[in-house]
Amino acid sequence: MPRPAPLSGFPELLPAQRVVEQHVLDSLRATFELHGFASVETRAVEPLSVLLRKGEIDKEVYVVRRLHADPDQGPAGAGDEDALALHFDLTVPFARYVVENAGHLAFPFRRYQVQKVWRGERPQEGRYREFVQADIDVVGQDVLAPHHDAEMARVMAAALARLPLPPVRLQVNNRKLIEGFYRGLGVGEGPGAEEDGGAGAVAAVMRAVDKLEKVGRDGVAAQLREAGLSEQQAAACLDLASTTAEDASVADRVAGLGVRHPLLEEGVAELVAVLEGTADLRSDRVRVVADLSVARGLDYYTGTVYETRMSGYESLGSICSGGRYDALASDGRHTYPGVGISLGVTRALAPLLARGALTASRPTPTAVVVAVVDEARRAASDAVAAALRARGVATEVSPSAAKLGRQIRYADRRSIPFVWFPGEDGDHEVKDIRSGEQVPADPATWSPPEQDLRPAVATSW
């Protein structure tokens, strides 16, 4: 059988890499639960019409079709509002979940969700077609207090600080601030503005500015002029996007640009509240910064927005994004506003693992291999392994009763640190194959050093 070719965009991790991923996921769950978030899981598929309702993501969606579907249906999902598709994020499915289960939830509802998602993107470093996301959200019924915007940043900053990642920069902005600034410039006041209140023109400017990191200042300026902005308007939009600050001084910097609008003032106040609510979090591991170039491309964001970049790996783009959404979910009687932030676990880890910047001390949880003197005495080795496992020591029994040297080499190839030698009269010994030290040991009391009990994660920074 020929060697199968890898499927681009669908990463599969080796055992040692999977150890790192599991360590990260366990840490995230612990942090989220420490802050009172409950775990939920939603189905992998949603109606295509639901997924396409918010944002320009139709080219990223994978449609699901049965192998023996009606041949008259045409291409999978074409013209079929009832077609199913794999979810491209966890926010839209969660909004549907809240509406369906509102009668069983206590609001504000705090949820975390760790699942795979699928996007039909062009595979490249940091962007995959199948990947793991870890989301946290707080959702209210009809109203949601603004202090939760700062809480999202606080919880994710605490989670990121515990992970084996490079230092991160959590960038915060506010869509009201951006839209208010654009409207204060007169964007959306031309012919046709009465049809949508200028929202289309404002959204087009947001999408153009959101590409600043990809196409640069000149590229965005050209797109803004194509959207109908004057040279002066385009320059002002870019001046806003270049504004950064780590404290409330961001309000003075925005005011210094000379634009006034009520929505702008509201957005500035909300942004300052987030910065002040996270001021005590700044450390050498995490910085929370106002960055007014952040807009986020999806249409459902209405207020605070977040993006996060790793120091030294800025080329990957944002690894952790989200924001406030006031109208994503509604059942006709109630609206469910929320705020959330999502960490792209695969997006952050896969490049670090591929570059060797993240490694595990061993590819298996096993800390001890119990040797087998001969097959007739395998039961004795099994008994030792059972005693060690009963006290939480990950143990396996040698697969064969080969010469002891070969059994030691078996452990060494798998980076298992200890080999246990059962004695005929209960005189057991255990050997640290790294140092060569061999000492008497009792399976009822012996444990490896704490640092050897589980595989450790090492970083290159």
Q: Note the pLDDT tens digit of each residue in 279-323.
A: 998 899 999 999 999 988 667 899 999 999 999 999 999 999 999
Q: Strands 338-344 and 320-325: what pairing?
A: antiparallel
Structure tokens at 169: 């920069």
Selection from 246, 256, 236, 245 nearest residue 178 by Cα: 236
pLDDT in the model for residue 195: 59
pLDDT in the model for residue 188: 76
Selection from 73, 81, 5, 6 nearest residue 46 by Cα: 81
Q: Could you tell me if residue 50 is inside a domain?
A: no
Average pLDDT of the residues of the chain = 92
- Residues 289 and 386 placed together within one structural domain of the fold: no
**Mean pLDDT, residues 206-227 taken together:** 90
pLDDT in the model for residue 50: 85
Q: Could you tell me if residue 300 is inside a domain?
A: yes
Q: Determine the residue type at 410.
A: Y
Interatomic CA distance for residues 420 and 398, integer angstroms: 10
By the 8 A CB rule, do 455 and 361 touch? yes
Which of 338, 358, 378 is the endpoint of a domain? 358
- Residues 339 and 274 placed together within one structural domain of the fold: yes
Which of 358, 384, 414 is the endpoint of a domain? 358
By the 8 A CB rule, do 415 and 409 touch? no
pLDDT in the model for residue 5: 84
- Residues 421 and 306 placed together within one structural domain of the fold: no
Q: Could you tell me if residue 253 is inside a domain?
A: no
Per-residue pLDDT at 277 exceeds 70: yes
Give residue-wise pLDDT tens across range 141-174: 999 999 999 999 999 999 999 999 999 999 999 9
Give residue-wise pLDDT tens across range 67-117: 876 655 555 554 566 799 999 999 999 999 999 999 999 999 999 999 999
Task: Work out how many domains the chain is built from and give that number.
Answer: 2
Strand pairing partners for 322?
A: 306, 341
Q: Could you tell me if residue 134 is inside a domain?
A: yes
Q: What is the DSSP string of 48-96?
A: HHHHTSSSS-GGGPPEE--TT--GGG-STTTT-TT-EEE-SSSHHHHHH
**73-87, 239-253, 424-438, range with the lowest pLDDT:** 73-87
**16-20, 26-30, 328-332, 336-340, range with the lowest pLDDT:** 328-332
- Residues 373 and 438 placed together within one structural domain of the fold: yes
pLDDT in the model for residue 65: 87
- Residues 276 and 138 placed together within one structural domain of the fold: yes
- Residues 311 and 348 placed together within one structural domain of the fold: yes
- Domain containing residue 395: CATH number: 3.40.50.800
Interatomic CA distance for residues 339 and 174, integer angstroms: 12
Q: Could you tell me if residue 432 is inside a domain?
A: yes
By the 8 A CB rule, do 339 and 144 touch? yes
Interatomic CA distance for residues 14 and 17, integer angstroms: 5
**113-127, 183-197, 443-457, range with the lowest pLDDT:** 183-197
pLDDT in the model for residue 55: 54
- Residues 325 and 421 placed together within one structural domain of the fold: no
Which of 358, 387, 411 is the endpoint of a domain? 358
Q: Could you tell me if residue 96 is inside a domain?
A: yes
Per-residue pLDDT at 196 exceeds 50: yes
Q: Could you tell me if residue 231 is inside a domain?
A: no
The whole-angstrom distance between residue 222's C-alpha and the CA centroid of its chain comes to 33
- Residues 341 and 374 placed together within one structural domain of the fold: no
Per-residue pLDDT at 449 exceeds 60: yes
Structure tokens at 344: 């792209």
**pTM summary value:** 0.91
- Residues 271 and 341 placed together within one structural domain of the fold: yes
pLDDT in the model for residue 54: 57
By the 8 A CB rule, do 36 and 110 touch? yes
- Residues 347 and 264 placed together within one structural domain of the fold: yes
Per-residue pLDDT at 223 exceeds 50: yes
- Residues 351 and 397 placed together within one structural domain of the fold: no
Q: Could you tell me if residue 183 is inside a domain?
A: no
**Mean pLDDT, residues 47-59 taken together:** 73
Quote the domain boundaries for residue 142: 15-44+87-176+260-358
- Residues 354 and 372 placed together within one structural domain of the fold: no
**63-67, 294-298, 365-369, range with the lowest pLDDT:** 294-298
Interatomic CA distance for residues 257 and 353, integer angstroms: 43
Q: List the Cα angle 322/325/327 in 5-degree steps.
A: 155
- Domain containing residue 293: CATH number: 3.30.930.10
